[in-house]
Structure 1
């Protein structure tokens, strides 16, 4: 039986909902339209956010924070996600800005910085992206050179698209530093630093004029001979890449509940419109096609909630868990389906959804950043599939090792031979990743289309696990609307099963050039477009005279 994580006792949930109530009131009365139009969060709004403890949700109580676990943090994100600008400001501060101090900081660093960050007296920002490096973090050019007396580093370089960059007082900055290797050579490796604006030499450009999340502050940051004390190295010298990945991996899981919270509100507003707007002498909600749109949107929201809370439960249930794979799955599914759902809502709203006098078009603009930031979905797809393949290859190595010593592992060998015999004599053979070196694994990193398909298989499998587990729990303990949840879970699994079959067919038929696979055609078209530097099909009006 699938078990959905249970990490909060009854009293804890009551306390959590008591905490959520004033936050919901605040967001229900928030003037998000003005924040979007003015492209700035007013000071009085930030003050209320501070008073609600929103800047210290996961900071330990000893430093003035609320010390929420991942599940409780995900619940708060449901509410803060209703305003994209505020949600990003908070996430930039605590999910990535100060997270390095939490997970890699020394006791002294935590005591020095966390108390003022917990109250919002100081804001934090995460500084990784540069003009020449985005997803390729290893290519950063910002440098940090150790002084002759070895008491401080001198930081030089620029970072771009830094959320909270113009507001923050404390920055987690990544820079290249010369590091002596075990062989005695010197290599430039990435190191993470805690940098204060007050150190000097820290300046920022004007706020970027963005498509969406306009109220959040995003700008360039420049470090000009900024002195950083050696005690402000975060983690180990040369270990900054690992710190950066741990920070990013630890924060993605809450995107599912953040998106779901915003979508619940938008879907409710859209349904209210559909129940009052009349066309052809009846409300548009009465049309079967419209009702199906709402049903499909509900299924996607249910799935992103289920995956997000399952991942949060995994994080809370284990000591030092590695849920980076699950968090990446949540991020991809939630970001892509949020974009689709918002688009469908605007379709139902019609012309109303397109007008700036109403809030709906803002949801669309805010949603577009989701597949891009905190790791682009393309990069995360590669990460998920390659992580799975790496795990499978480790298993395969273990199999080979045992086969080389059959007398010591005769039970294992016997089981393996029996399974192979059954497979050979069955009408329908099975294909397991760890039993065959599939053609797509040759030069696997370059087979990105196939890796993406493999990732989509994993996403659907995790989604099916999450919704079935959640719905089973609801049915077992008799939660309200459990029958409705059953339908939501069944609908998701039906659609996911269809996608799984298609993707697995595409993967297993890769070598069959007669199969219905357009990959080679698209590859050829893409290659030709690169040569011609764009679209170059002849005009429909052109003739050979």
Structure 2
């Protein structure tokens, strides 16, 4: 107990949260993840000592070694019978439309979505799926939206980005942060597809560091409008949008101090305001059918009533927009994976080599099975998160960030393996996988690069864990009144110190998966112990330990993936679905292998050999950058 007290004091003395909050703020601007309520910039000591606000996020609580499964077990299902019936009425015609009326290869070759397809999408209401019916939309909830997005992802990611850039981010700010007047004015036209929308945040000087945007909007002398100047790059729908959600620096005066400083504000900007132009469509590796262009604003006059979410609240609006739509990426890419897997299966079950069908060979079987596992986990994440959102949860942001990372990497691997199964045929353009492969590459980059999202998951979780450690420190100042908390924490630390962690199974899991639940429980406890150790060792300097943060994030991803797989498979087993045995095997294999990966990553965080390797890797990278080229000479010497 004495050791814990000393370490906790050291943590507080180091000012962990004072240092980590600025780093998180910068990452938020990129990853678009809101910090939990307890992690807002503190500044004053009394704020530092506030009680940590409880969170129902499974991932957040893992960082303190706790398995909080309220939002995960049983596997959530929120559709009413009426909502399910509505969805069923929409899925079949949507699938039929893409099969019969859309030509993905043609769109890719033309580098734009065919107008016949665009008109068909308008007639189907595809441009306003989540806009309320009274404002001209279809009025779908998140789970219904995810299912239709999955259909699009299975057929044409170029069309998917056109639709997603329009409604998932383009006018989403108006939908979730707009006032009644803004909604009534803009939503009917964008929902019908009469006007296209775009989300304009990224600039030439601000990629991963969105806090460095330079576009600036200055209020007019009479206060009736803002004058916007600046440019935005890589804007999806940028060359065709009539309505933009634009983020720019604005002068904001503190009423208490009178000091004025720049803060980012979100605006609804119409092309019709004047001073809005765009460059030529960008030439891209993939999603060629999606229009991407640079957008310029030159003395664009924006009425003050078009400020979105309040002056100076631009980052908050951006976070809400991107957080709200991130689950849709996992849904879309689960559809893409279905397409790739079906291609591989059709080939494997018809192709004969060495006298046997190739699906009888272990190498091919392993590929197919692992492709199915990655798809199962991705799909399970997408619909668990959408159901949590539909149930009114606000504690899903880290899960959504993980789903984006996992889905974008899983879809790439699945499609790559599908090409490998098909051999030379998969490499040919005619197979369709070549286009899918090109389209998929961007998903690991945009809407928060996976590298930044991993750091954000790790730092946000560590900050939450740090808050709980501060609570224990406060309790130690008055042990008589907090004996229960102190003894509980002391017992856990003592058990860990002698190498005994019982973890325990996660409750509510089907008996067939009890061993998997036990492994997850042990993994979560070990994860929490590792997170605590990092806080104790590095304090405020943890923000600079990216080698360690990445391995912590990878462990978090594996553990959450295991949870969603076990939860969904348990539900299937309980309901005795036809696929329940198949799902049980997927969940069991995933957890078994994920547990090994988690152990490897958590060991690397503490291993002296790994620490030495990390230093060498950093040094190798520095040598390369200093040299501006490969450092080692050719073996030939010439």
TM-score range, shorter chain: over 0.9
Q: Please say if residues 395 and 434 of structure 1, whose CA atoms lie closer than 8 Å, have aligned partners that are also in contact.
A: no
Cα 1:57–1:220, aligned 2, differ >3 Å: closer, same or farther? Answer: same
User: Is the contact made by 1:208 and 1:218 (CA closer than 8 Å) also made in structure 2?
Assistant: yes
Task: Find the counterpart in structure 2 of residue 100 from structure 1.
Answer: 173
Show the counterpart of 1:251: 325
Q: Does 1:240 align with 2:338?
A: no
Are 1:537 and 2:628 matched, yes or no? no
Contact 2:218-2:250 at 8 Å conserved across structures: yes
Alignment of 1:72-471 (within 5 A): 72-82=144-154, 83-181=156-254, 182-318=256-392, 321-424=394-497, 431=529, 433-434=531-532, 437-471=535-569
User: Which residue of 121, 136, 154 maps to 1:49?
Assistant: 121
* Contact map agreement 1:440 1:450 (CA 8 A) in 2: no
* CA distance in 2 between partners of 1:385 and 1:516 (Å): 18
Corresponding pairs, count? 539
Once the two structures are overlaid, the 10-residue window that deviates more, 370-379 or 492-501, is 492-501
Mapped partners of 2:165, 2:451: distance in 1: 21
Normalised to the residue count of structure 1, the TM-score between the two structures is 0.96
Deviation per CA, 1:11-44, whole angstroms, max 9, x where unpaired? 4223211111100011122211110011011111
- Cα distance in 2 for partners of 1:417, 1:207 equals 61
Q: What does residue 590 of structure 2 align with?
A: 492
- 575, 584, 602: which one aligns with 1:477: 575
Per-residue Cα deviation, 1:425-449 (whole angstroms, up to 9, x for no partner): 5667963634773424451111111
CA gap of 1:449–1:412, structure 2 versus 1, over 3 A, is: same
Task: Tell me what 2:141 maps to.
Answer: 69
The structure-2 alpha-carbon separation of the partners of 1:454 and 1:14, relative to structure 1 and needing over 3 Å to count, comes to same
Deviations 1:459-501 (A, max 9, x none): 1111111111000000101122111010111111122111101
Between the aligned partners of 1:449 and 1:37, the Cα distance in structure 2 is: 41
What is the distance in 2 between the residues matched to 1:85 and 1:454?
34
For the pair 1:526 / 2:598, whether they are aligned, the reply is no
The CA deviation string for residues 263-300 of structure 1, in whole angstroms up to 9 with x for no partner, is 11221122111222222233222222111100000000
Q: 1:423, CA displacement in angstroms? A: 4.2
In the TM superposition, residue 419 of structure 1 has moved relative to its aligned partner by 3.7
Quickly say closer, same or farther: Cα 1:366–1:107, change in 2 above 3 A. same
> What whole-Å deviation, never above 9, does each CA across 1:115-169 have from its counterpart, x for those lacking one?
1111111111000011111121110111101100100101111111000111111
When residues 62 and 355 of structure 1 are mapped into structure 2, their CA distance, relative to the original with a 3 A threshold, is: same
Does the CA-based 8 Å contact 1:255-1:334 persist in structure 2? yes
Distance 1:134 1:424, change over 3 A: closer
Alpha-carbon shift at residue 402 of structure 1 (Å): 1.1
Query: Contact 1:180–1:186 (CA<8 Å) still a contact in 2?
Result: yes
Contact 1:506–1:517 (8 Å) recurs in 2: no
Q: Structure 1 residues 419, 222: closer, same or farther in 2, change over 3 A?
A: closer
Q: Which moved more, 1:379-388 or 1:265-274?
A: 265-274
- Give how far 1:78 is off: 0.9
Structure 2: gaps (5+ residues)? 1-68, 503-525
**CA RMSD, aligned part only?**
1.7
Q: Hey, what's the Cα distance between the residues in 1 that align with 2:368 and 2:276?
A: 49
What is the DSSP-based 3-state SS (H/G/I as helix, E as strand, rest coil) of the residue aligned with 1:171?
Answer: strand
1:536 deviates by 1.6
Q: What do the CA deviations read for 1:73-120 (whole angstroms, capped 9, x no partner)? A: 111111011211110011101110011101111110001001111111
Secondary structure in 2 aligned to 1:189? strand
**Separation in structure 1 between the aligned mates of residue 461 and residue 500 of structure 2, nearest angstrom:** 28
1:436 and 1:526 map into 2 onto residues whose CA distance is 24
SS in 2 for 1:187: strand
Name whichever structure is richer in helix by fraction.
Answer: 2
Deviating more after overlay: 281-290 vs 49-58: 281-290
What's the offset of the Cα at 1:259?
0.6
The answer as to whether partners of 1:396 and 1:435 remain within 8 angstroms in 2 is no
Q: Is the Cα–Cα contact under 8 Å of residues 495 and 501 in structure 2 kept in the other structure?
A: no
**Alignment partners' CA distance in 2, 1:202 and 1:482:** 55
Match of 1:15 in 2: 86
User: What SS does structure 1 have at the residue aligned with 2:257?
Assistant: coil
After TM superposition, the structure 1 stretch with the greater mean CA deviation from structure 2, 274-283 or 161-170, is 274-283
